Each structure stands twice: as C-alpha cells, then as structure tokens.
Structure 1
C-alpha cells in the first residue's frame, strides 16, 4: 500500500470520525436545552456548557470544510444576505456567555447592507475571531461591517493589548500557502481556515483576504476579512 493510499484512508477515516463526534455533540446539546426548558433558572447556569459544546462543534465544522477543500470536494454556498440581520444572529448566539464574562459585544452595521457570501463559512470565521477576542479583550468586542473599495470588510475588534509585532508583520500567504505547521505548539488553524475562506470568495478576478492590525476603533487588536463583490452585491436584492 502506497503512502498516498494510506494518507487517503486516514483522511477519510478522520472525516467520518468528525461526523460521528458532531452527532454526539448535537445529542448533548439537545439534552442541555431540554433541561433548560424545564428550569427557568438554568439558562445562565448552562450558558458556559452550551458555549463549549458549540465551540467544539464549530471547530469540527472548520476541519471538515478544510478536508473538503483539500479533496476538491467543496462548493461555495454563497448567496445574498443582509449583514445587519447576520450580526444580530451572532450577537444573540454570544449574548449569554459574554455577559457571564462581563464583555460587551457591539455590532456596527448600516441598515440594509446586503452582500453575497457563504454564510456558514463566514460565521465560522467570525466565530473564531470572537472567541480569540474574548480571550484577550478587557471589556468590549466590536463587530463591524463596512464597504471599502468594492469589498465588504467584516472586522472583529477588542480593547485588549493588541496583536504582537510578529503576527502583524507575517506574510499570511507565505505562511499558509503550503498548509499549516503541525509540529509547532500553536498551529494557527483558525487563522488558516479564515485565510482559506477568504480566498474561496472570488469576484471579477479578485480574491478575498484577511488582515491583522492594531488600528481598530477600540484600541486593541483588529481581525478583518475582506470579501470582493460586484456591483450587484450592494444592491437591494435582499429585499
């Protein structure tokens, strides 16, 4: 058996295992929500537990997406979405756990901003960025959407100490073009996933990209993903 065949079998087995674990997590989550429905005071008590289940599940979704991209078995599910509605969904998802940490999530998006993107993938990108921001922020996390030179820019900002210089100066394309380094302690899987998702969004010869900076409005770190779009992306197609 060749090494390529062995590697293919391993990746297929890994994908099946991830699916199995995801199903188990969904079962756990259903049980937790059933308990919450029976106990009015259980909401805050189980918020952290639900958050961890969803966090692990989202990590598994990212792994499956990367596997499909690597196998050339991935189709971008892009459609037009109202960004402010999308932000409201994210804010509701994080409300309980951030409240428990005394962190305020501040969405900032113009009403009616409409853009075409893969909602599931972009949710995964912002989920990862918000999780990271929650670890380093002091009291606030900003979730902002803006239009810049034909791109939709979605950013997650915090009021922490910002990114270290080594992260700000790294060339992400050079870092990730050949994959991720599994030998080191921190693989940067979340950032790698974000980089891949950005590249998958292509319009009129332009590809998306991600950027790390310390020039956000809250004074700390700022992660942003830039998605290219044609004129129709900013139309009133969302209704």
Structure 2
C-alpha cells in the first residue's frame, strides 16, 4: 500500500510538470478524448471479427472449396457436360440430401438478373479482388470468386455454405443503436469515475480543511497544495489565509497576556504598599477598600491570563476522551462546593459519548457555568445530559432570579454584567461565561441561555460528539 501511494504521488508530480495536463481543464479535456478513443477502438476491434464484412478465407476452407470445384471440373470434362447443367444437377442433388453447401457458376457472358440478390451484392464487392474472399449473408457464408477457364467457356465459381455458429455476443450488441449506447456507457464509466474522483478529491480536502478552521483548528494542510493547478493555487491561498489568521489570533492573545502580566507588577506593589500601611497605621475602611479592589483586580487578571492561555492552546492540544472521564470530576467538585453553601447539584448521569476536545478548555467551560449557577441559585441546580444527532447537549438549570430576556445573548460577551442580578459586589469579573462561549465555538458547538417558566436560568451547551 505504501508503494502504491508513493507511485501515485510521483505520477501526480510528473503530471503537474506538464503545463496542459497539470491544469484541471486539461485533465477534463484529455479524459473525454481518451474515453472517445477507447470507445472507437473497442468498436473497431469488435468489427474486425465480424463475419458480415469481407475477409480472407481460412486456408483449410479454401482448399476444401477448390477440391470440390476441381472434382466438378473433372466430371464435366470426362462426360462432356456443360458446367451450368452439372452445377444445377449437383445443387439439386445436394439440396435433396440437405448438404450444407451450394455452388454457383456464373459465366462471363451470362446476365446477372436471375441470380440471388445476396450473390449479386457479393459479386459487386469482389469483382476486383485477386484472391477469393468470403462474407456472411443471413445464414449463408458466400465465398469467391474462383475463376475457371475451359475450352467451351470462362466464368467464376461462388461457394455458399450454411453458417452454423451463432453470431458473437459482442457483434449482436453492436447491431442496435441502444446496444451501442450501452456499450459506450459501460466503457466510459471507469474513465468518468476517475474524472469524478479527480475533481472531488481536492474538493473533499477543502471541505475537511474548512471544517477544521470552523472548529478553531488554525493549522495549515500541505495536501491542499496537490492535484490540478487550480486546486494547488487555491490550496496555497487557503494555507496562507490560515497562517495569517493564526498570526492575528496569536498576536491578539499575546497582547492580552502581555498586558495582564504588566498589570501584575504595579498590582503587587500596591498590595505591598497596603500591607505596609496597615502595619504602620493600622487597619481602616479605606485600606480595606483598597484590599477589596486589589483582590478583584487580581482575579480579573488571572481570568484574563486563563482566557488567553486556553484560546491560544485550544486548537493545538486536543485529544479524544469520553464524556464521563471529561466532566465527572467537574460535577463532583460542583456538588461539593454547592453543599458547602447549603445548595444541591443533581445530574441525570453522563451518557456514553466520545469527544475530541481540549480537555482543560472543555472542563473550564462547564465549570464556569456551574459556578455561575451555584452563585445565583436559591437551592437547586440540575444538570441534564442527552445525545441528539451527533451532538451532546448539556443543560444547567438553576432556580435563581434569571436574566432579562433582552440580555440573554449578551451575557456571553467578555466583561458584560447584568445590572439587575450582578454587580461588582458579587465578585464576578464578567469573563466566566465568555470563556465558556469561546470554548464551545472553538469546538464547533453552540451555547445559548433561556429563562425557565418556573423561574431561574437554563444554559445549554452543545458539543459535537461521536
């Protein structure tokens, strides 16, 4: 198999060097002409063995016919009987005995109107031949001419014998136009399949590559730069686009990471200055407020670094893992945290499903939603997991205050806060649900939120699975 793949790659490289064959339109043109050539060659080859066309007489058959004529000539000369009379008697005698052959004597001066139509046609086709030929007419094989010159007259013998073998199957097919059309389709099918494969294989590569980009995998694919010239150029442009997108995303993420790191230095100095002030002056309401704001800023920077790190590694570090191994520990941690606050997290169980994900990113996505639900729920948080047409649906429902309907789509934006239910005093940075939304989008999934009729918020995460 490895040698076959190598041979195909080398053959494709050689084709690519030829300007005409390296292009898509050149290959289509060549394949159509090759199909026509193969069909014509097959028809011409089949007609070469057609007994209904003029062809040479096999040597044994020719010798046998000549022996019959010589025997007849000897009888005519020995008994002094005209050839026409002797041939008529012999044909009548052989016809009575049902012999499979018949002789025709045609003198040079004799009229041709009385001869059978098939014989007249055969004579017109063989009038200029130096050697006897034969051809099939219906059920008789006509052979001749065999020229004879005697003291009385000159003329030609023609031999007709009953054709016993059946017409070859290939020739029967070519007798009717619809049969010829069927043969043409049969012969051209392999070449057309090859053409379809040649056209669709690069298209399938582009389809797979575009799906990977849609799922957040900004990785170039060298296979896109193979095949016909048009697809190679398009593949090269696609890889350049992916490289540019990757650089843009990486640069943006690096900028966020650098800013976050730079903010930590003055923040650390601020915390140290606050500690020194407490030691020298004692604790006060103003210093406590500084500590609170510094802690919140520290949390915000940490989440920014987490978001930047997960985004930059989300499309590079993926593995195939079961849903149970992926999220069971996250659910158990949420149940423990909710229990410490007097709340309860329940689950209907994790279905048997396999996912290809960045493990840290997928766990962080569910953990952020669960923490948000635990924070705002009154008593109950319910996790429901179901498989539906190639995706795994995770629904996290709480019995908290919910979110205004006009803000349901905005809660997944970075730093967005719902004033009716959330402010800075709650300690949230507004990045948790944004991390969840971007994580799911990188994996080709969806996330949405809706208010429950009985109160509370329901967040649904849709993950592609198998």
Please indicate the TM-score interval, normalised by the length of the shorter structure. Answer: 0.5 to 0.7
TM-score when scaled to structure 1? 0.57
- Alignment of 1:14 with 2:14, yes or no, is no
> Which residue number in structure 1 is paired with residue 456 of structure 2?
220
Q: 1:154 aligns with which of 394, 402, 405?
A: 394
2:304 pairs with one of 59, 63, 84:
63
Greater length-normalized contact order (CA 8 Å, ≥ 6 residues apart): 1
Does 2:366 align with 1:129? Answer: no
Shift of 1:129: 1.0
Distance 2:346 2:455 in 1: 14
Quote the offset at 1:121 in angstroms: 0.9
Runs of 4+ in 1 over 6 A off after TM superposition: 7-10, 56-59, 184-187
> Distance between the aligned counterparts of 2:400 and 2:320, measured in 1?
33
What secondary structure does 1:155 align onto? Answer: strand
Give the conservation status (yes or no) of the 8 Å contact 1:121–1:197.
Answer: yes
Superposed displacement of residue 66, structure 1: 3.0
Evaluate the alpha carbon distance shift between residue 150 and residue 118 of structure 1 in structure 2; reply closer, same or farther with a 3 A threshold.
same
**Unaligned ranges ≥5, structure 1:** 22-55, 202-206, 234-239
| Cα distance between partner residues in 2 of 1:145 and 1:180 | 28
8 Å CA contact retained: 2:257, 2:304? no
Deviation at residue 76 of structure 1 after TM alignment: 4.2
CA distance 1:86–1:147, change in 2 (3 Å): same
Structure 1 vs Structure 2 CA RMSD: 4.0
CA displacement at 1:227 relative to structure 2: 1.8
| 1:82–1:113 Cα contact (<8 Å) kept | yes
Alignment-derived partner of residue 138 in structure 1: 378
Higher normalized helix content (fraction of residues): 2
Is 1:196 matched up with 2:423? no
Quote the Cα distance in structure 2 between the aligned partners of 1:191 and 1:8: 21
Say which SS state the counterpart of residue 135 (structure 1) adopts.
helix
Q: So what's the TM-score if we normalise by structure 2?
A: 0.32
Check conservation: 2:405, 2:451, Cα contact below 8 A. Answer: no
Q: Distance in 2 between matches of 1:127 and 1:141?
A: 13
